[in-house]
Chain A
Amino acid sequence: MGRWLRAAALVLGLAPLVAGCGLGPQPLPGLTPRTSTILYVAIGVGDATRIDSTLRSALGEKLEALEKLYADLRPGVKLELLIFEEERLLAEVRRRTRSGLAPDLILAEGSIAQQLHQEGLTRTVPFPNPSSDQLSPSLIPFAQVDARHLFAVPVGYAPQLACFDRRRMAQPPATMQALLTASSEGQSFGFKLDLGDLAWTLGSLGALESFTAIRAGSPATEEHVSRIRQWLLWLQTANLQQRITLAGPDANLGDGLLDGTYAWITCRSSDQTYLHAQLGDDLGLAPLPAGSQGQPSPVSVLLMWAYGRNSSPVQRQAAEELVRFSLNPPVQRAMTLRGRTLLPVSREAPLPVASSTRLAALVTAQQQAQDARARISQLLVMRNREEDFNRILIAFHYGNLGVDEATDALVRLLQSPSP
């Protein structure tokens, strides 16, 4: 019994010592405390198969870079990386919050950050605060709970764009017609049969206005129906091409690019971490192709820092300071230049686009997304009907629905009230 008691005493005795690392004297105003603490940072990635040594190493390096930059200002803060499958992120945070082991910071898409907040798994931050002062004012509504609180803090944009293998494709197609031509000349392309992933084609092919108009309650005029029909016909034409693959919504196009199945795919800028880790400088980035009807309308995901609920006072303070630090224009700029996966959300963080085609592609993609944001947001409201949209697209893809039937089905779905 004696040894058990000794062990328990040791655990209980050591714990306050360890905990004491974070209980230093209160800092003077304007000065940061010099106490060591560990911050747990959770990141969600596409799916479990993507979690490998290369991705871990790449994400670890990015976090370490942020830690080193931050160390100049506030030494002693160590960042511990926790990588989860994106689909499991919510469940993991829920389970860990019950145990008191929730991450201090969660880097997640805006929609996931909102879900975390709605489930009470993250804490809000007062608004305005020093971090929010750094943000572009247009972003505040996306993170606001009410006039005085934010549920998370935006940290970067991840726009949709085209990723291609430079070894197999010297010049990516700039137009939809060039894309079809390139495929007939032997280049392989990969798309996903997923409305969110194909949303960019709505702009290029002129169907976005029709989608949003019908969704907004306008009558389905002949012109609107015709444009939707034209969009579906382009998809059908693309599908008939031997080297254009319309993969299922759960397909991993990135793996296809890595193993040589595709030379060009649609991707998100944040996918670059694992694609660049494998392809290196052979990974090319380009804006999505425009069409005869207009510019592409990609969706740009807003990534946010959400605060976990179980942090100690010292961890909480360090997390808030780190977030504020990560929004400083020089840091945003440095992180974008280093990783080239996220674009700054800071008011003033100019990027040297002239010297980097990749950066230029990212900025162009983000600009396209911002131009289409007002119209696309009408569709984003229907995010919870995405599976219904995808079912129609898949049925059309396999010929179960003809072009007219698919058009009617889409129009009816757009007209139906949101559940």
Chain B
Amino acid sequence: MSELLSQIGGWFGYLSRPGVLVQLSGVAVLIAASLLASRRPPARPAGPWFARLGLLALLGLFTAVLAAVSMPYGLVGIAALLIGGWFGLGLLRHGLGRWLPAGEVRQLDSGLLRPLYLLFSLVMLIREVDAPASLAVIPIGTWFGSTVTVGQVFLSLLVIVLLFVGSRPPSHGLAWILQRLLGGGDSGRRALALLIQYSIIATGVVWTLDQIGFNRTAILAVAGGLSVGLGFGIKEVFSNFISGLWLLFEGSVRPGDILYIDGDPCEVRSLGLRAAVLWRDRDNAELVIPNQTFFTTTTTTFTGSDRMRISEVSFGAAYHHDPGEVIRLAAATAAEVPGVLAEPAPKVLVMGYGDSAINYALRFWIANPMQNLSISTAVRRAIWQAFQRQGIEIPFPQRVLHRGRSQPG
């Protein structure tokens, strides 16, 4: 490690060269000026883009001036190239937004494209100040008897990051193909994609470490040590991980499922290594629930065997209306509300004789559990309007008071 630090320290020796100083100072000044300019409120929506193009133009001009006076200019050129590339990523993101959902684009941009670009920039800069081939072979320690070099560590981290971030699209693609071939629902496809992704990551990590030269025995020894450590230190994390895998295999909780959490229907958005992320439409909240929760508590799902749900709306009608007429009208009204399934047909039940009215319960089937509240609201409105048209009274709570005779004194 000391050799690596010494080598990195050696890079600063270039700062004693006037040619290098002029280039770095010029680039720093131009970037600072561009940042200052971009802080001002833009006169036009395209203002920031003009500022960026201006910076690139100035860097190009600076390069040309240095070349004209026979001074080194390569660093300015590289700075222009890297800054231009960074701006280009913004354009790419904008373009991808036309084809992919915003969430996917955000994840692709911040999870893959920008980190990869930063890595590429780092390698470009190191290539300028050092010889990457000889830098890569600097040993930084030993791993169970094998010497580990800078290049090995860099390559391992790169491949592992790429596996974590880049394995998602091919996993989803493969799951999609398998869904087409074998059939199955969307939630099953998502679960399959997650399983494929974990398999790729696990296989890739072991393969990468093996290819790069890490001792296999050491990997097994570390795995053994980890399993002991897991039992004590991070058992919760491991428990959640295993729970997540188990849930996927079992299929009781899969991405796309609708679960009832604290009285609200929530959609499972993703099932991660540690926790599941659920979306609650009532307030657009995302709930992060540790996977093992689904093992220790009762889970109510509306998407276990199918996605249908029975909704219920309660109402009352005055005593003087024939219950048979009320039941027919309520059932017919509900059947006409969009979202209420015609089959099984809505059913109205007499629930009891209340203080002010006869109480009824209207039960109907809906296809999307997440729409329970909106369809129930529509059904209530339709019943009120239908009762209004037919002159069926929904009475207020009434109480008849009888004044007793006063006792003679």
Closest approach, in angstroms, between the C-beta of A12 and any C-beta of chain B? 6
Contact A100 B17 (CB under 8 A): yes
Contact A85 B133 (CB under 8 A): yes
Give bound CA distance, A243 to B19, whole Å. 56
Cβ-defined partner of B20 (8 Å) among A81, A83, A97, A100: A100
Interface presence of A131 (CB below 8 A) = no
Residues of B contacting A312 in the complex (Cβ-Cβ under 8 angstroms)? 16-18
Size category of the A interface is 35 or more
Knowing A98-B73, A312-B17, say if A53 contacts B138 (CB, 8 Å): yes
Contact A100 B138 (CB under 8 A): no
Interface segment out of the listed A13-21, A219-227, A353-361, A381-389? A13-21
Contact A95 B131 (CB under 8 A): no
Knowing A8-B29, A100-B23, A101-B128, say if A56 contacts B13 (CB, 8 Å): no
Cβ-defined partner of A101 (8 Å) among B14, B35, B138, B139: B14
Residues of B contacting A51 in the complex (Cβ-Cβ under 8 angstroms)? 133-134, 137
Interface presence of B350 (CB below 8 A) = no
Contact B14 A21 (CB under 8 A): no
Contact B15 A19 (CB under 8 A): yes
Residues of A contacting B71 in the complex (Cβ-Cβ under 8 angstroms)? 100
Closest approach, in angstroms, between the C-beta of A66 and any C-beta of chain B? 16
Interface presence of A169 (CB below 8 A) = no
Interface presence of A310 (CB below 8 A) = yes
Contact B78 A99 (CB under 8 A): yes
Contact A8 B28 (CB under 8 A): yes
Interface 0/1 of B130-156, CB less than 8 Å to A: 110110011100000001010000000
Closest approach, in angstroms, between the C-beta of B180 and any C-beta of chain A? 45
Interface presence of A37 (CB below 8 A) = yes
Knowing A5-B32, A83-B133, A99-B75, say if A40 contacts B128 (CB, 8 Å): no
Contact A98 B17 (CB under 8 A): no
Contact A4 B21 (CB under 8 A): no
Interface 0/1 of B1-39, CB less than 8 Å to A: 000000100101111111111011100110110011001
Overall SS of chain B's interface: helix
Contact B138 A56 (CB under 8 A): yes
Contact A37 B16 (CB under 8 A): yes
Residues of A contacting B23 in the complex (Cβ-Cβ under 8 angstroms)? 99-100
Contact A84 B131 (CB under 8 A): yes
Closest approach, in angstroms, between the C-beta of B264 and any C-beta of chain A? 43
Contact A38 B13 (CB under 8 A): yes
Closest approach, in angstroms, between the C-beta of A390 and any C-beta of chain B? 27
Closest approach, in angstroms, between the C-beta of A35 and any C-beta of chain B? 10
Size category of the B interface is 35 or more
Interface members, chain A 90-111 (any B CB < 8 Å): 92, 95-101
Interface 0/1 of B65-76, CB less than 8 Å to A: 000000111110
Knowing A15-B25, A56-B134, A98-B74, say if A80 contacts B18 (CB, 8 Å): no
Q: Which residue of B lies closest to A83 (CB)?
A: B134
Cβ-defined partner of A11 (8 Å) among B24, B35, B133, B134: B24
Contact B17 A310 (CB under 8 A): yes
Interface presence of A22 (CB below 8 A) = yes
Give bound CA distance, A311 to B35, whole Å. 33
Give bound CA distance, A97 to B25, whole Å. 18
Give bound CA distance, A95 to B130, whole Å. 12
Interface presence of A216 (CB below 8 A) = no
Give bound CA distance, A78 to B12, whole Å. 12
Contact B149 A100 (CB under 8 A): no
Interface presence of B261 (CB below 8 A) = no
Contact B137 A8 (CB under 8 A): no
Residues of A contacting B133 in the complex (Cβ-Cβ under 8 angstroms)? 48, 51, 83-85
Cβ-defined partner of B74 (8 Å) among A38, A53, A80, A95: A95
Residues of B contacting A78 in the complex (Cβ-Cβ under 8 angstroms)? 10, 13
Interface presence of B222 (CB below 8 A) = no
Closest approach, in angstroms, between the C-beta of A54 and any C-beta of chain B? 8
Contact A1 B17 (CB under 8 A): no
Closest approach, in angstroms, between the C-beta of A9 and any C-beta of chain B? 9
Residues of A contacting B14 in the complex (Cβ-Cβ under 8 angstroms)? 40, 100-101
13 A-B residue pairs with Cβ-Cβ distance under 8 Å, sorted by A, are A4-B35, A11-B24, A19-B16, A19-B17, A53-B139, A55-B137, A78-B10, A83-B133, A95-B74, A99-B73, A100-B17, A101-B20, A312-B16
Interface residues of A (CB under 8 A from B): 1, 4-5, 8, 11-12, 14-16, 18-19, 21-22, 37-38, 40, 42, 48, 51-53, 55-56, 78, 80-85, 92, 95-101, 310-312, 314-315
Interface residues of B (CB under 8 A from A): 7, 10, 12-21, 23-25, 28-29, 31-32, 35-36, 39, 71-75, 77-78, 128-131, 133-134, 137-139, 147, 149
The 9 A-B pairs with the shortest beta carbon distances in the complex, nearest first, are A38-B13, A99-B74, A100-B72, A100-B19, A83-B134, A98-B74, A80-B10, A8-B28, A19-B16
